[in-house]
Amino acid sequence: MSILNTTFAGLSLRNPIIISSSGLTDTAEKVQKLEFHGAGAVVLKSIFEEQILMQSGDIVSYDYPEADDYLKTYVRSNALSEYVKLIQECKSLCKIPIIASINCFSKGEWSEFAKTMQDAGADAIELNIMSIETQKEYRYGTMEQRYIDILSTVKKRVSIPVIVKLASNLSNPIALINQLHANGAGGVVLFNRFYQADINIKTLEYTTADVFSNGSELSNGLRWAAIASGELPKQDFAISGGVNSGAAIIKSILAGAAAVELCSVIYKKGNDEIDKMIADMSSWMDSKGYENIGQFKGLMNLKADENANPFERTQFMKYFSSK
C-alpha cells in the first residue's frame, strides 16, 4: 500500500495536503474536522499587519502620550491574544502541524508577533507577503528586498520553520527564492492569490470577482515549481492555486513540490473531498508501482531532462508556432 508521508519546511506531514489560510481554519473546531478528514497540516487564518495597525491608529488621541501608547498597545495585545488562543486550542485538539500565518507588507514591530506565536505552540509560521508596486519612480529590486528583510527580521526572533508565500507578480522568482533560502526560509509557497476585482457596468462600482481559484491557475504553479525545484533542490516548495483534485496534487509533486495548499475546493465540495483526494493519490501510486512520494517527487522538473525544458517560451515556439 502506498505511503503518502512527506516533509515540508522541516515538518513531517502524513500527506501533502495543507489547508491554506482561510475561513476554513479560523476556529479549533474547524481545524479538528479537517484533521479528521485527512488534512496533513493547516495554516491558520492570517493575522493582518494592516488590520492591527489601522485599529490602533484609529484610536482617539489623548492629551497624555502615555494614554495613547497604552490604548494602542492594548489593541495590538488584544488582537494577538485572540490568535494565541486559537493556536493553543488547535494544538490541544489536533496532532497535525499547526502553521500560524502573518499577512504583512513591511518589517516592523509586528514581527514580535512571530515570537509570541512560537511560544503559543505554533509548529511553523507562514509569512504571507503580498503587494503591488505602482510607483512611477519604483527602484527595481525593492519589492524583492522587502521579502528578504521581513524574513530576516522574523528569523532573528524564532527558531521554528518560517515559510514564505510569494506573490505571482515577480519578474524572477528563482533569484528571490535563492536569497530566501540563503536567509533561512524553511519552505516557499507558489503562489499567493491577489484580491480579484471586477466592475459592475450597471452601477459603475468596483465589486469582488470570483474569490475561488479554478483548475486553470495550477499551470503557473507547476511551471515555477518545476523550474525552482530543479535549480534549488535543497529548498522545499508547495504549490497553491488551482489545486482542486488528487490529480492536481500528483502533478504538483511530479513538478517538484513537497506539498500543496488548497482551500477553494473544500469551500465548494466540503471536507469529504480531502478523503477523496487522498484515495485518488493512493490509487494512482498503486497503479504506477510507487510505494512512497519520494519515488516520483520532481520526476518531471527542470532537471528531469537536460535537453528539453517545456517551461520556457522557446518550447512554445517550437511546438505551437505552426498553429
CB atoms within 10 A of CB 127: 25
pLDDT of residue 56: 43
At 319 the pLDDT is: 53
Burial class (CB in 10 A: 0-12, 13-18, 19+), 252: buried
The rounded distance, in Å, linking the Cα atoms of 87 and 115 is 13
* Averaged pLDDT, groups of 10, the chain, 323 residues long: 94 98 97 98 86 48 41 57 94 98 77 90 93 75 91 95 93 95 98 85 90 89 96 97 97 98 97 98 97 96 68 54 54
pLDDT of residue 197: 85
Residue 196 is predicted with a pLDDT of 77
Residue listed under C-alpha cell 469582488: 208
How far is the C-alpha of 302 from the C-alpha of 228, rounded, in Å?
8
Q: Find cell 509560521 and name the residue.
A: 125
Residues forming beta bridges with residue 41, ordered by sequence position: 18
User: What is the amino acid identity at position 132?
Assistant: I
pLDDT attached to residue 55: 47
Here the cell at position 313 is 517560451
The answer to whether 19 and 262 have CB atoms below 8 angstroms apart is yes
Q: What grid cell was written down for 97?
A: 502541524
Domain segments of the chain: what residues? 6-320
Q: What pLDDT, on the 0 to 100 scale, is given for residue 135? A: 76
Pick the CATH number of 6-320 from 2.40.50.140, 3.55.40.20, 3.40.50.740, 3.20.20.70: 3.20.20.70
How far from 213 is each of 106, 204, 242, CA to CA, in Å? 26, 25, 6
- Distance of alpha carbon 180 from alpha carbon 175, whole angstroms: 9
Q: How far apart are the first and last CA of the chain?
A: 44
Q: How far is CA 34 from the centre of its chain?
A: 17
